[in-house]
Structure 1
Amino acid sequence: MFKSVFRTIPLFISFIILLSFLYIVTSTAVSGDLNTVIDVIQVHTSIIGGMIFLLSLSLWAGAIYFLEKKGWMMPLYESKIYRVLTAFLIAFLIGSIGAYVFLAYHIDIEQIGKTTEWIQEYLNRFIFTAFLLSLITLVIILLVGEVYMGAGVALFTYFILAMVNYYKQEYRNEPLFPNDFIQVGQMKDVIPLISDSISLPITLGIAIAAILAIAVWFKMPKIKLGWISRLVILLPLGFVLYSFLFYEDTFAESFYEEYTSFMPWNQNNNYYYNGPVLGMVSNIKLDVVQEPDRYNEKVLEASVVQAEELTVENSPAEEETVKPNIVFLLNETFWDPTRLDVHFSEDPMPNVRKLMDEYPSGTFFSPVFGGETANTEFELLTSYSMNYINPGGNPFNHILANDQYPSVVSHLNNEGYYSEAIHPNSGNLYRRQRVYPNLGFDSWKFLEDMTYTEKDNSEFVSDQSVVNELLDTIEQQEDPSFIHAVTIANHLPYPEDKYEGGSTIDVKGESLSEDSERMLEVYSEGIKRSDATLDRLNEEIQALDEPTLIVFYGDHLPSLGSNLKAYREAGFGTEEDQQTKAEFYETPLLVLSNFDTGLDEDLGTLSPIYLAPMISEALGLDSPPFYDFMNEMKEEIPAFRNRIYMEDEGQTVESSDQLPSSTQAVLSDYHQFQFDVLSGKQHVIDQLYNTQQ
């Protein structure tokens, strides 16, 4: 009897689906309104669901009795048609469950009613999502070869992806993108961030349920599919699935035109109004860099001509000048927390403020929020923008790790510099161990290569250690040095015990929760220590005999709680503000030196793409034409990222279409150059980077 029950589980599922469908169709015919039916089901879920379950159970019991009495149980179970139909049935069930799980975690897992309301409003998109996940589930089942195991693998995968999407939204205010999957090896750095919000009982419950499911699977009769049946179904199914995932220019494109409304300019809205699965599909791109309109050699040549007209003739200094050491010092998550409207018992960054009054300084306009330091490094080192990278794309992982590309490193190497990168963590992160040599660095030091690895917190190497490392490099090298140094001491998370003895700064705010106050105190303690380290670095370079320049900046703002908790409580802004307001991307920018750089005292607000061209011009180096173009472009649009374009007078607009036509033309040329160099055929790379023209 036990085996008969398991052999006919597909019949039970069929009865449930059939009766549910009949109830909805009949009720809709009577009431004349599907939404009314869904509302009734939502209110009386337990009663209606219980009735359908009991009736299905009765029909199932009757079917088992009938099949056993007629001796048809084993012939049915061994039938190829029954097994194939079971695969389709289970795939549809798992696809529908997966679609609901994705939506529930994306919209509001704590208020399931919102998910039901979404389904009512966008029923076609829910059905489309269930269809796509059913296709994927069926492919997994066919590849595994056993229906229940394949279904379990698919459901577990959907649950994990839904959770990852949920946590990425919570802490980064952006959804999961397909290109994020390449960074799966960096999950160990994400887990500490979300560890406090993971429920141990729920985690144990899921683990126990998974173990029990596997144990039951081992005991129950299997529904295996023959390899011929699998192959016959898999080949056309693979074509259909490919067409729906890479839908552009396929028969599936018409379905997306009818049932979706993609919004690539606003990914949060894109994922909400289309659902997370369709949102992810809309961002499946074979190319990381967005291809500009009318990309070809003729258009590029025209862009080069326009760029030459825009720029002044490159004229290197007549006399040979001493080339200074240049240090780009990226300080992890360095930001001014006093910009929040709360009370601090002391200023966490008094030295930085003093130095910003004495030296050229301004505002660094980060391309990212709350994480992804490597994307800031990409803009700084290549002078190319994340604005033209497809959502979820990571240039370090997807582009720079694969081949050599021109950069500020190769430019300074040509100027006679020794170049070194310092990062006090594993070189596997963002594949930096491959990226740094591809950008032209002569040497690179990761945690295992460093002489100084002392910590001043519970997890990460201190800023002091990184400063000691770069000062040693300057002292040991005879040639002028270019050093790209990254600190990580201020990296999240910010637990109360991060610093021994706790924080020396108290934070109070009328609207701040206790958790937010503690988090800000820990974060401010890290800023205070970074501030003291920078002051010490300035003293060291002032005592050096050789000219030295330090560009100090924070790579992005911190992630302070889920859903921007501390920012919202302090009145700094909401999730929508984080998408459109420059304040969420502005960190301190400071240029220290022991000689007169000739830079303006007020650098204004600058995107990272302009720093290398600006420094090269100020030092009188023999800059490539591309840098001349960038320095002129800076006058048109000094800072920009998706949905925030800052004009030369500081005002911002949400779309490049709102910019003056002259600025749009410059950005169009820039986009052409970026695509050509990083992802195109490099038609004009010599014209952009040859300093001998």
Structure 2
Amino acid sequence: MKQTLLKIGKAALVLLEALALGGAVAFAIQWIILGDAQAALDWCLGALPPFCLTAVFYGGGALLLGLLTGRLWVGALASSAVGVTLALVSYFKLAINGTPLEAEDFGMIGQLNQVMGVAGDLKVPGRGWAAVGMLVLVVLFLFLLGKMLTLGSGRTRFVLATAVVSLGLALVIGPGGPALGRAFSVNTQDRMMSAISYRDYGLTVGLWRDMCLLAGREPEGYGPEYMQQVVQRLDELLGASGTAEPAGEQPNVIFILSESFYDMTRLPGLTLSGDPAENFHRLSGEGISGRFYSSYLGYGTGYIEQSIFTGLTGKDLKPGTNISFRDDGDYSLLDSVATSFQAAGYETEMLHAYNNSLYNRTVTYPKIGFNRLLFSREIQELDLNIQGSPYAGGYYLSDHVFTQALLNRLDAANEEGKRAFLFGISMENHQPFDPEKFGYVCQLEVSSDQLSEENLAITRVMLEGLTRADQALGELTDALREWEEPTVVVFFGDHRPNLFMTDGGTVYSHLGLCESNDCSRWSIEQVADLYSTDYLIWANDAALLKQPAGTKQDTGLTALGPAVLDAANMPRTRYWAMQERLSKALLVNTDLYCVTAQGVPYWNESDAALSDEDRELMNLRSAIVYDTYYGQRYATSAMNRPVGS
């Protein structure tokens, strides 16, 4: 009896040790992320249920490895390493673009070196080393204590490890996951932006919540008859808006994603010696322009591209899904914007001013309708008559060289008797915005009472990058004025740069546009402002425009694709007719926010001022997305045909 009680006591002590280790790891993670030990302690005490759940996760992992190895300190060391690594990766991601680590980012693990390469120098903060030191002491304590305690015989450890694995699987997947979440006061039903989820639940529970709990929900009554009714109802609602053969000439289209481009003159508190968007402003008077509402700030270029071309956002997919790293076959299920041009006999090409290492483009772009991909190396092999180095501001092709490449490929396609659809991704204005990026050269001067000289030096780099992007736009359109073939240019900035200042704030917080870098604390108006850039649709023949020259009309992530199809008079499939109709209601709709066609932002579409027909169309679209990517694809082929077919 005494021996039995002793064994039970040892087992209980080992369990407490594991949970204590888990609590230490949970505290260390918050210490690294929040930047202050007192702030971390306040969070742990104020969010006790998710803190305890985090401790269970890391303590359970340590216990499992301890049982497998016979040494609890080994499991403690591994759990500590995992927690610290996740926290530091999230810290570095915040330093790069102002957003925490998200579940979808795990799709980019294989490209970590390239991501770090474009981010500049990153160093572990002092609090990171302090947190590591604390965990080292905890592991050392367990190592010394382990001399007095054993975890049982090999057979006993195996049985216990099997039990831990079984219990863990039951609690983190299937119906056990939501039950565990509810037990620890975690919302397992509603989607929310990562910054809010991590603020309330911490990094680890937030990641677990996204990857294991929330999932695409099957529509009630789902089946072949249900989806047939969905298609029929879509045809009724779309009607004439789904015309299969739009009238009008089909021009060349040059579709340009200008990295981090936006109208810097909209920033308050800056005095500029000139207009960095001089050409953009002039061309806006000749075309259609306005705000472009994006889904990211400071990063996410590849995700934005996918959303524009496929009409999907992360909100349409299961949480944690990386939109650029899905199953290869997913990208060909529904026609993309580029597929329409390809089917119409266009030469469809993507040009990128950097290499092919990021966002899985070499896999996804051929599947969404591009005949040819040209990256930096292939562009330099074109006959461009480059004078001097083709690079500017680091290892990206200059926007000047990139413009020459676009004109070269346009000429090649037209010489073959084809129309061209060229999607270009410029990079000269990409981060890092180090003061020496352009050799301390800035064509315009900037001053501000709210920025120190060191911060002005960083701002000048952004100013110079934007100025060069604008000059390249002017160079392109000047050449196209002399072009014989009708050509439309669609030009937009994918996101604003998250321009960090020397104290860790951003140019936006320093200029009073927001109080801090934590977007979970912003107002909806601040989100809509800072998540917006600018766009332009211009043509070398004003008759090609669908609106009077000088029209101001906002657009967004889910509205720009239909606008490109409309600009080129492309036939619409049922899917894109639906997307075009919905773009008249919502310009962007993400887990963070949405904006109506009237330019009014809301936190979610449930609160937005939408008509009953708009909401019905959104429900029908949700059924189509579920059927295509998670269901039996009863209606997928019908969505790739014209309305009424």
TM bucket (normalised to shorter chain) is 0.7 to 0.9
Partner of 1:36: none
Pairs within 5 Å for 1:46-61: none
Partner of 1:438: 367
SS of the residue 1:398 aligns to: coil
Q: Which protein has greater RCO, CA pairs closer than 8 Å, 6+ apart?
A: 2
Describe the shift of the 1:474–1:287 C-alpha distance in structure 2 as closer, same or farther (beyond 3 A): farther
From 91, 94, 98, the equivalent of 2:21 is: 94
From 120, 123, 132, the equivalent of 2:57 is: 132
SS of the residue 2:489 aligns to: strand
Partner of 2:410: 474
Pairs within 5 Å for 1:348-367: 348-367=276-295
Report the CA distance between 1:535 and its aligned residue: 0.6
- 2:442 matches 1:500: no
Partner of 2:544: 597
Contact 2:98 2:498 in 1 (8 A): no
Aligned letter for 2:237? L
Q: Which moved more, 1:336-345 or 1:209-218?
A: 209-218
Contact 1:91 1:134 in 2 (8 A): yes
- 2:395 matches 1:459: yes
| Cα distance in structure 2, aligned partners of 1:643 and 1:513 | 32
CA deviation map 1:230-249 (0-9, x unaligned): 43223221122223322x51
* TM-score between the two structures when normalised by the length of structure 2: 0.84
Pairs within 5 Å for 1:611-622: 611-622=560-571
Partner of 2:3: none
Partner of 1:537: 476
Aligned letter for 1:461? L
Partner of 1:490: 429
Pairs within 5 Å for 1:621-636: 621-636=570-585
| Cα distance in structure 1, aligned partners of 2:194 and 2:319 | 8
Report the CA distance between 1:634 and its aligned residue: 2.2
| Cα distance in structure 2, aligned partners of 1:318 and 1:652 | 32
SS of the residue 2:179 aligns to: helix
Report the CA distance between 1:542 and its aligned residue: 1.9
Contact 2:347 2:421 in 1 (8 A): yes
Partner of 1:417: 346
Contact 1:86 1:147 in 2 (8 A): no
CA deviation map 1:372-414 (0-9, x unaligned): 1111101111122333234443211124576533212222111
Contact 2:151 2:157 in 1 (8 A): no
Partner of 2:601: 652
From 672, 676, 691, the equivalent of 2:623 is: 672
SS of the residue 2:584 aligns to: helix
Describe the shift of the 1:199–1:285 C-alpha distance in structure 2 as closer, same or farther (beyond 3 A): closer
SS of the residue 1:334 aligns to: coil
Describe the shift of the 1:410–1:510 C-alpha distance in structure 2 as closer, same or farther (beyond 3 A): same
From 532, 538, 558, the equivalent of 1:586 is: 532
Report the CA distance between 1:221 and its aligned residue: 10
Higher normalized helix content (fraction of residues): 1
Contact 1:265 1:642 in 2 (8 A): yes
- 2:513 matches 1:572: yes
Describe the shift of the 1:516–1:667 C-alpha distance in structure 2 as closer, same or farther (beyond 3 A): farther
Partner of 1:449: 378
Partner of 2:208: 281
Report the CA distance between 1:503 and its aligned residue: 2.5
From 590, 598, 605, the equivalent of 1:641 is: 590
Contact 2:442 2:460 in 1 (8 A): yes
Describe the shift of the 1:603–1:220 C-alpha distance in structure 2 as closer, same or farther (beyond 3 A): same
Gaps (5+ residues) in structure 2? 1-5, 382-388
Aligned letter for 2:35? I
Report the CA distance between 1:672 and its aligned residue: 2.1
CA deviation map 1:650-682 (0-9, x unaligned): 222222222333322222222222333334322
CA deviation map 1:56-78 (0-9, x unaligned): xxxxxxxxxxxxxxxxxxxxxxx
State the identity as a percent: 21
| Cα distance in structure 2, aligned partners of 1:315 and 1:177 | 40
Describe the shift of the 1:499–1:578 C-alpha distance in structure 2 as closer, same or farther (beyond 3 A): farther
| Cα distance in structure 1, aligned partners of 2:409 and 2:278 | 28
* TM-score between the two structures when normalised by the length of structure 1: 0.79
Aligned letter for 1:557? R
Describe the shift of the 1:203–1:325 C-alpha distance in structure 2 as closer, same or farther (beyond 3 A): same
| Cα distance in structure 2, aligned partners of 1:96 and 1:211 | 14
Report the CA distance between 1:329 and its aligned residue: 0.9
- 2:510 matches 1:559: no
Describe the shift of the 1:135–1:449 C-alpha distance in structure 2 as closer, same or farther (beyond 3 A): same
CA deviation map 1:155-206 (0-9, x unaligned): 1121111122233345544432233222123333443677666258888999
| Cα distance in structure 2, aligned partners of 1:212 and 1:655 | 46
For the pair shown, which has the larger CA radius of gyration, 1 or 2? 1
SS of the residue 1:117 aligns to: helix
Q: Provide the aligned length of Structure 1 versus Structure 2.
A: 611
Describe the shift of the 1:105–1:244 C-alpha distance in structure 2 as closer, same or farther (beyond 3 A): farther
Report the CA distance between 1:89 and its aligned residue: 5.6
- 2:55 matches 1:109: no
Report the CA distance between 1:625 and its aligned residue: 2.0
| Cα distance in structure 2, aligned partners of 1:187 and 1:518 | 29
Report the CA distance between 1:225 and its aligned residue: 8.2
Describe the shift of the 1:128–1:333 C-alpha distance in structure 2 as closer, same or farther (beyond 3 A): same
Partner of 1:249: 175
Partner of 1:54: none
Partner of 2:641: 690
Contact 2:214 2:319 in 1 (8 A): no
Pairs within 5 Å for 1:227-246: 228-246=155-173
| Cα distance in structure 1, aligned partners of 2:368 and 2:68 | 41
Contact 2:349 2:370 in 1 (8 A): yes
Report the CA distance between 1:416 and its aligned residue: 1.1
Describe the shift of the 1:259–1:287 C-alpha distance in structure 2 as closer, same or farther (beyond 3 A): closer
Describe the shift of the 1:273–1:641 C-alpha distance in structure 2 as closer, same or farther (beyond 3 A): closer
Partner of 1:153: 78
Aligned letter for 1:381? F
- 2:325 matches 1:374: no
Contact 2:70 2:157 in 1 (8 A): yes
RMSD: 3.6
Gaps (5+ residues) in structure 1? 1-78
From 449, 453, 457, the equivalent of 1:510 is: 449
SS of the residue 1:395 aligns to: coil
